[in-house]
Chain A
Amino acid sequence: MVRLGGAVRSSLAQRLVALTGRGVLHVVVIGIALVWLIPSLGLAVTSLRPPGDIAASGWWTVLGQPRFTLDNYAEVLSSQGLAQNFLNSLFITVPSTILPLSIGALAAFGFAWLRFPGRDWIFLGVLAMMIIPIQVSLVPSLLLFRTLGLTGSYVGIWLAHTAFGLPFAIFLLRNFFVQLPRDLIEAAQMDGASSLGIFRRIIVPLSVPAIASLAVFQFLWVWNDLLMALIFVQQPSQQPLTVAMSTLLSTYGQEFNLLSAASFILMVVPLIVFFSLQRYFVRGITAGAVK
C-alpha cells in the first residue's frame, strides 16, 4: 500500500535532498557568519593566552601549543580597575535602555491609537528629530545640564541617551502598534479596559517581539557608546568600559593581552543580552486573533 504524507517522518535521504534545495543559501549564510565570527574568535583566544605566547605566535597556532590563562582578565579587572567600569557601564546602560523603551512605548501607543488634534504632525516632527546628528547638540545639551545641575551624576547621560533613543523607539513601536488589529483594541474597550489598560494588557503583550528587538538595539547602542560618555560623564570613577578602554589603549598600546581581555569583556555583554532576548523574537504572535 502506498503511504501518503511521506513528509510526516522523512528519511535521512529525503532530508538531504531537501537540504540541497537550499544549499546555496546555506553556504552563503555560513560564509558570512564565519567572516564575522573569526575576529571575535581570535580576540577570545588571544585574551586567554599568556603575554609571551601572544607576542611569539598568532592565535591560530594555539592548537599546536595549547596554553591558557585567566591572568589577563584578573589583571584588567582588578589592577586596572575595569571591574568598576564594568559596573558603571551597566549602571549607565540599563536605565538608558529601560527609560526610552517605556516612554517610547507609551508615546507610540498614543501616536498609534489615541485620537488627539495634530497627532500625525507631531509624529512627523518626532521622525524629523531622527536626522539631527548627536554632535550638533552636544554642546547645547552640556550647557543645559550644567544649568540644571545634572553634571556629575548619571542622570545627565541617562537623559541624553533617552532623548536620542526616543525618536527611533517611537517610530519603530508606533509602526508596529498600528498593525495590531483594530478590532482587538475595540473589543478590549468594550470589555471595559481603559486606555492604559489596553496598553498594558493588549498592546504590550502582543508587541513583545518589537520591544525585545528595540531593547537589543538600544542596549547595544548605549553599551558601545564612547562619545556621549566622554562628554557627559566627567568623574573618572563613573566612567563606563568604553572610556576605560580608550584610556587603556593609549596607555598600554602594545599590551595585547590586556587589551584583548578588556575588549572581550566589553563584547560579551551584548552577546548575552542578544541571546537571552532571542526567544522573544517570535513571529505570528497575533495568530488566532482575527479570523
Chain B
Amino acid sequence: MATVTFDHVWKRFGDVVAVNDLSLDIQDEEFLVLVGPSGCGKTTSLRMIAGLEEITEGTLKIGERVVNDVPPKDRDVAMVFQSYALYPHMTVYDNLAFGLKLRKVPKAEIDRRVREAAKTIELSDLLTRKPRQLSGGQRQRVALGRAIVREPAVFLMDEPLSNLDAKLRVQTRAEIARLHQRLKTTIVYVTHDQVEAMTMGTRIAVMNFGLLQQVGTPQRLYEHPVNKFVAGFIGSPSMNFVQVTTGREGDRAVLHDEAFTVPLPDRFREAVGPTTGRSLTLGFRPEHLAIGPVGDNAATVRTNVDVVEFLGNEELLHLRAGHHDLVAVVDARHRVRPGDVLDLGIPFDKVHLFDDETGDSLAEVKAVSAA
C-alpha cells in the first residue's frame, strides 16, 4: 500500500521532452489511469515509476521514500507489460515464482503464494504449461498473476488489454477492476483507450505532448473538461466543436455562427465579458443533442442527415449544419433516415465554451479560480 508522488518531474530524450513538469499525487489504494494519445508521455511516466527510465529532473516518491535513484527491484512495484513478457523457457508456475525465488522467499511460502495467485486468476490447471502453449487471454492472466504474487505496494500496468480481442478485453477489464477492489492496492494503469480509462479508473490523468492536462474522476472529466483537448478526448463519440463569435441580439448576449445563433448561457457571461466579435469554440456532446420540441433551456439547430449508424438501442447520426460536421446520438426509435432534415436541441446547461487561443474552458477557468 503506497502513494506515488510526481513532483515537477521532467524526462528528456536528447532534445525531445517526453514528460514536461509533471506533478501528480496518486493516492493509496487508488486506480489511477494515465491516458492520452500515443507519444503523450504516459508510458514514459509509468516506466519512471517502475525505475526502467531515469528521471531527468524533479523527484518521484513512492510512499514517503524518494526513489529517483532506487533500482527497479527495490521499489516494491510490479509491472504488467503490454507484451506480457513471460519467460518462455519457464512453466507458468516458474513464471509466477521467479520474482519470489530471487527474493529468497522460503519454498513453502512461494508455493502457497503461487497457488493462491493462480486461484485468483483461474490458472490453477495450467501451472505446468509453458507460455507458448497458452492462448492470448491465458498469457495475459499469467502476466497479471506474476504481478499479484509479488504482493507489491504499487501495480503498474502498461496497456495490458491491447493484445486481446474485443470480447476478451471487456471481460478482462471487469476482472482487473474486481481485482483492484479485492486487493486494494494502488494501481497505475496506462492506456490510450478512453473507454478503458472511463470504466476502470477511480481517477484519470489525461496527458498530451508530455503535459498533464487534467486529473479527476471520470465524471469530473466528462462534465467539466478544463480544455478543448480533454473535452475532445474523453467521451465517445467525441464532443462536437463549433467555431462561434460573440455578439448581441437586442439586449441579449449571443454566440453567432452562419448556421445558428445560441444565446450565451448565464454562467459564461462573466468569463466572456462584454466584448463582441470574440472568437470562441462551442462544444457539446453528441449524446446531449435531442430530437423534438425543445424547451426554453435549449437552442435549436437545423441539420441535414448524412449517414445513420444503427447501434441497436441508439443511432449515431452524422449531420451537416452549415459547413459544420456534427455527430449526434439519439434513441433508435426515432428511425432517422439519410437525407432527413432534423431540428436538434442543444441544451444550454450541457454546452462548453473554450478560448480559441489557449483552448482552455471558460467555465472551468472560473470554477477553478473560485475553488
CB within 8 Å for A190 and B78 given contacts A205-B89, A288-B134, A289-B131: yes
Q: Is A202 an interface residue (CB 8 A)?
A: yes
A23 adjacent to chain B (CB < 8 Å): no
Cα A194 to Cα B73 with chains together (Å)? 9
With A189-B73, A192-B99 known as contacts, the answer to whether A285 contacts B89 (CB < 8 A) is yes
CA distance A288 to B92 in the complex (A): 11
How far does the Cβ of B83 sit from chain A's closest Cβ, in whole Å? 4
Does B86 interact with chain A (Cβ within 8 Å)? yes
Separation in Å of the A217 CB from the closest CB of chain B? 23
Instruction: Report yes or no: B73 in contact with A289, Cβ–Cβ below 8 A.
Output: no
Interface residues on A, range: 20 to 34
Q: Is A54 an interface residue (CB 8 A)?
A: no
Range, interface on chain B: 20 to 34
Binds B, one of A124-132, A178-186, A251-259: A178-186
B contact residues around A247 at 8 Å (CB): none
B133 part of interface (Cβ distance < 8 Å):
yes
Q: Given the complex, which residues of B lie within 8 Å of A287, measured CB to CB?
A: 88, 131-132
Bound-state Cα–Cα, A287 to B131, Å: 8
Q: Is B113 an interface residue (CB 8 A)?
A: no
Residue of A nearest to B84 (CB): A290
A residues 181-223 near B (Cβ < 8 Å) are: 181, 183-184, 186-194, 197, 201-202, 205-206
B311 near A: Cβ within 8 Å?
Answer: no
Q: Is A14 an interface residue (CB 8 A)?
A: no
Of B51, B72, B136, which is in contact with the most chain A CB atoms at under 10 Å from its CB? B72
Residue of B nearest to A183 (CB): B85
Distance in angstroms from B211 CB to nearest chain A CB is: 26
Cβ of A22 within 8 Å of any chain B Cβ, yes or no, is: no
Q: Which residue in chain B gives the minimum CB-CB distance to A205? A: B89
Near B by CB (< 8 A), chain A positions 146-189 give 181, 183-184, 186-189
Whether B163 sits at the interface, judged by CB under 8 Å, is yes
> Which B residues are in CB contact (< 8 Å) with A181?
83, 85
Looking across the interface, which residue of chain B has its beta carbon closest to that of A287?
A: B132
Q: Report yes or no: B83 in contact with A290, Cβ–Cβ below 8 A.
A: yes
Set of chain A residues within 8 Å of B99, measured between Cβ atoms: 190-192
Chain B contacts of A202 at CB under 8 A?
87
- B residues in contact with A186, CB < 8 Å: 50, 52, 72, 79, 81, 85
Chain B residues in 8 Å Cβ range of A189: 51-52, 71-73
Judging by beta carbons under 8 Å apart, are B79 and A288 in contact?
Answer: no
CB within 8 Å of A: which B25-51 residues: 50-51
- Closest residue on chain B to residue A187 by CB atoms: B85
Contact across chains for B87 and A289 when beta carbons are under 8 A apart: yes
| A189-B73, A191-B98 known; A288+B83 contact, CB < 8 A | no
A3 interface residue per 8 A CB criterion: no
- In the complex, are the beta carbons of A286 and B78 less than 8 A apart? no
Asked if B207 is at the interface (CB within 8 A of a chain A CB), the reply is: no
Q: Would you call A290 and B102 a contact (CB within 8 A)?
A: no
Q: Taking the complex as formed, is A9 at the interface, i.e. its CB lies under 8 A from any CB of chain B?
A: no
Contacts of B133 in A (CB 8 A): 288
The answer to whether A190 and B87 have CB atoms under 8 Å apart is no
CB pair A184–B89 under 8 Å, yes or no, is: no
Please indicate the chain A residues that have their CB under 8 angstroms from the CB of B102 in the complex: 191-193, 197
Complex Cα spacing A286 to B79, Å: 20
Tell me the A246-291 residues at the B interface (CB within 8 Å): 284-291
The one of B51, B98, B103 that contacts A188, using a Cβ cutoff of 8 Å:
B98
B88 lies within 8 A of A288 (CB): yes
Expressed in whole angstroms, the minimum distance between the Cβ of B9 and any Cβ of chain A is: 20
In the complex, which residue of chain A has the Cβ closest to the Cβ of B142? A288
- Cβ proximity bits B334-362 to A, threshold 8 Å, 1 near / 0 not: 00000000000000000000000000000
Task: State A286–B131 Cα separation when bound (angstroms).
Answer: 9
Which single residue of chain B is at the shortest CB-CB distance from A193?
B102
Name A288's contact: one of B72, B82, B132, B163 (CB within 8 Å): B132
Question: Shortest Cβ distance from A187 into chain B, in angstroms?
Answer: 4
A288 to B71, CA, bound (A): 27
Q: Which of A190, A194, A201 makes the CB contact (< 8 A) with B50? A: A190
Is the beta-carbon distance between A285 and B163 smaller than 8 angstroms? no
| Chain B CB within 10 A, most for which of A187, A201, A285 | A187
| CB-based closest 3 A-B pairs | A288-B132, A288-B131, A290-B83
Can you list 28 contacts pairing A with B, beta carbon distance less than 8 Å?
A: A183-B82, A183-B84, A184-B87, A186-B72, A187-B87, A189-B71, A189-B73, A190-B52, A191-B102, A191-B146, A191-B150, A192-B102, A193-B102, A201-B98, A202-B87, A206-B88, A285-B88, A286-B88, A287-B131, A288-B86, A288-B132, A288-B134, A289-B85, A289-B87, A289-B88, A290-B85, A291-B83, A291-B136
